[in-house]
Structure 1
Amino acid sequence: MRHTWRWFGPQDPIRPEEIAQAGAQGVVSALHHVPNGQVWTPDAIGRRQTEVALASDGTPSGLAWEVVESLPVSEDLKKQKGEWRAHLAAYKTSLQHLADAGIRVVCYNFMPVLDWTRTDLRWRRPTGARTMRFDITDFAAFDIYLLQRPGAARDFLPAVVEAAAQRLSEMDDAARRTLADAITMGLPGSTEAMDLGAVRTHLAEYGAISVSRLRGHFIDFLSEVVPLAERLGLRLCCHPDDPPFPLLGLPRIMSTAEDYDAVLRAVDSPANGMTLCSGSLGARPDNDLPAMMERFGAKVHFLHLRNVRREADGSFFEDEHLEGDTDMVALIAAILREEARRRATGREDHEIPMRPDHGQEIADDLRRNGQPGYPLVGRLRGLAELRGVERALRVTGAFA
């Protein structure tokens, strides 16, 4: 595996030299300040490459920008409304500029409205560590009573609706704002968080878009961008829904192995691939992550390794990297088998980029107040643990 680290640019409190000290070999980044649907210019891409390459004292960091996460697909593109054709043209131009800059892996997602959903960004664990959590009762309180989505109560069990009303009654105005902000914050690092009014507007526009129609829009998008990516030598990799089940009455189309099979078959190309996120997919008990790696390994272009602990009611929290409900040792073994197959067939991309996804805030992280889910020490610990598993499997040959 190629060990990488997500970095949000100069505003990120973590510096490139700290990323190198953590043991990462490359950087995952994006131009978060560019509005969705606009072109990523060569100058802006070049500036980010320079920022990654230099430590804070101006000396070389030893790192390079290797993976894009994310080149966002605009809501207009997902809905095929408004300026979607202009946004498609801009997306293609951005891909050309990234290829010209030597970047080969581009992660993106096709989640409608909310790019990820958590109800608590800093949930306290018994050790004092903090992590991210999705609580079904809190989410129902938001959906039914704060957002006031028509018909929302029908999407939850009666016991959850009742518990949500009780939970809301215990929240003061500040707690309600904190809950709403956590759910609507948008893509990590993005400047495009939404208020409740914007969420309601998007939901109304998605009301007529079924699962099959959204998947059709996605395949239309892939049919346009994948041939270009293949010519440019790029590897596009779609991130799964997070969490991988329906929310807010919205269609979800990248939540299961069958979802990935449908789109990878519809536009069959080496450039059309998967970001295997063990945390996102692992929030569903019917997603077998080692089996998915074996099934889609040839099309896995990027890896997010993290773990979640599921609860019976559908809630979950982000556990330590080697804990939780995903067998991380079995998953890494499957990854190493795929890399061995690639080496045997001479594939240039035999080393799959991986990053330690998210991480619990521990030790000095608790004083930094950094980007939720992206602490320094917590991710350093996760990367060390994942590297240790990989090294042990390689030394013993236990993955073969």
Structure 2
Amino acid sequence: MRMVFRWFGEGNDHVSLNEIKQIPGTEGIVWALHEVPAGEEWPMDKINEVKEQADAHGLNIDVVESVNVHEDIKLGLPSREQYIENYKRTIEKLSKVGVKVICYNFMPVFDWLRTDLAKEMNDGSTALFYEGSKIHNIDPLDLVKKIGEDSSMTMPGWEPERLAALNELFHAYKDVTEEDLWENLRYFLEEVIPVAEQHDIKMAIHPDDPPWPIFGLPRIMTNKENIERLLSFVDSPYNGLTLCSGSLGANPANDIPSMVRSFADRIHFAHIRNVKIFDNGDFIETSHRTQDGSIDIYDVVKAYHENGFTGYARPDHGRHIWDEECRPGYGLYDRALGIMYLWGIWDSLERM
């Protein structure tokens, strides 16, 4: 297991590369060019700039999260051809600086959704929270406005240019079915996986968060059966997964350790975090510790260890603790604690 840490770039992240370097066992950053709109080709000078920043701190840039897929590709519009060509050229450029994994998703409109970015927990910390009744009874545009007012930082999946086009996007998706989305995903993979193979970069799709339809939008990366279907589209080791225990684990029907064991050879990137699921289906993100949530994180890590996992892993969303002012879910302190918990399990398994 190779530990990495998500970093949003100088001027856009309160966590410094020097601080990341000090987290034991952490060898690289998970990065992206967040200022480049989805669909545009990434500039080589900007890519090199991130590499130089990471190199100066002895950190690798092996994992990119994310090279976002333009909505026209998901919608299957004729304009997708140009955006797919841009994607291919970005893959080629990233290979020149040693990138090994590209994380991406195929979620329409929203990359992820929560109803509260700072729900207070019993210990005084706060965390990302999903309350189902608010999703069922609210206009999505009102929710977006509320969440946008709560955060002083840009957030992946909630970029201003995307939010500005929400009305148009909802209209564009009104007749798109799950099968339509599947077919558009297949087309995308058949185009980009050969390029990824050529440049030795593994594509790793992230599951939907949460793993069910929202606001009438189709969602397809939600369970084991759908993951199997995705992997069958292009039967190549370069067509793989970012297995996120927190995203899939929000549905108690998803057995995360079983998924790890089933898909071990196609998991290129592991997001490991815990969530506590309430009886009504609401959920809140907790510490990584097994006892604090509904996912057996010990067994998740054990499943990776049993299968000799040598891919990349990162602690996913953390709580906001010790009065840290940070991007929602992406503070330094709780994610660093999460890394040490994950290493503690891994090191114990190595000794058995």
TM-score by length of 1: 0.83
Q: Aligned with 1:224: secondary structure?
A: helix
Query: Counterpart amino acid of 1:381?
Result: L
Match 1:376 to one of 319, 332, 336: 332
- The CA deviation string for residues 140-191 of structure 1, in whole angstroms up to 9 with x for no partner, is 34237947xxxxxxxxxxxxxxxxxxxxxxxxxxxx94346569x9852864
Q: Give 1:337 shift.
A: 1.5
Report what 2:168 is aligned to. Answer: 201
Report what 1:38 is aligned to. Answer: 40
Does residue 178 of structure 1 match 2:146? yes
Are 2:110 and 2:157, in contact at CA under 8 Å, matched by a contact in 1? no
Match 1:246 to one of 209, 213, 224: 213
Q: Aligned with 1:237: secondary structure?
A: strand
Q: Aligned with 1:208: secondary structure?
A: coil
Does residue 133 of structure 1 match 2:92? no
- The CA deviation string for residues 208-262 of structure 1, in whole angstroms up to 9 with x for no partner, is 1110110000000000000111111111000000000110101111011111100
Report what 1:358 is aligned to. Answer: 317
Q: How far apart in 1 are the matches of 2:85 and 2:337? A: 41
Structure 1 residues 177 and 32 mapped into 2: Cα distance closer, same or farther (>3 Å)?
closer
- The CA deviation string for residues 31-54 of structure 1, in whole angstroms up to 9 with x for no partner, is 101111111122111101112223
Report what 1:210 is aligned to. Answer: 177
Match 1:225 to one of 186, 192, 209: 192
Q: How far apart in 1 are the matches of 2:148 and 2:278? A: 22
Report what 1:393 is aligned to. Answer: 349
> For this pair of structures, how many residues does the alignment match?
347
Report what 1:48 is aligned to. Answer: 50
Report what 2:245 is aligned to. Answer: 278
Gaps of 5+ in 1: 55-60, 148-175, 340-349
Are 2:117 and 2:147, in contact at CA under 8 Å, matched by a contact in 1? no
Structure 1 residues 112 and 297 mapped into 2: Cα distance closer, same or farther (>3 Å)?
same
Structure 1 residues 376 and 186 mapped into 2: Cα distance closer, same or farther (>3 Å)?
closer
Are 1:3 and 1:353, in contact at CA under 8 Å, matched by a contact in 2? yes
Matches within 5 A, 1:1-400: 1-11=1-11, 12-23=13-24, 24-54=26-56, 61-81=57-77, 83-143=79-139, 146=142, 177-179=145-147, 188=156, 191-192=159-160, 194-195=162-163, 198-322=165-289, 323-339=292-308, 351-363=310-322, 366-367=323-324, 369-396=325-352
- Give aligned-pair identity as a percent: 37
CA radius of gyration, larger in = 1
Q: Give 1:25 shift.
A: 1.3
- The CA deviation string for residues 80-135 of structure 1, in whole angstroms up to 9 with x for no partner, is 22632111100000000011211111100000000100111111111111100011
Structure 1 residues 302 and 51 mapped into 2: Cα distance closer, same or farther (>3 Å)?
same
Structure 1 residues 302 and 88 mapped into 2: Cα distance closer, same or farther (>3 Å)?
same
Query: Counterpart amino acid of 1:43?
Result: D
Are 1:186 and 1:194, in contact at CA under 8 Å, matched by a contact in 2? no
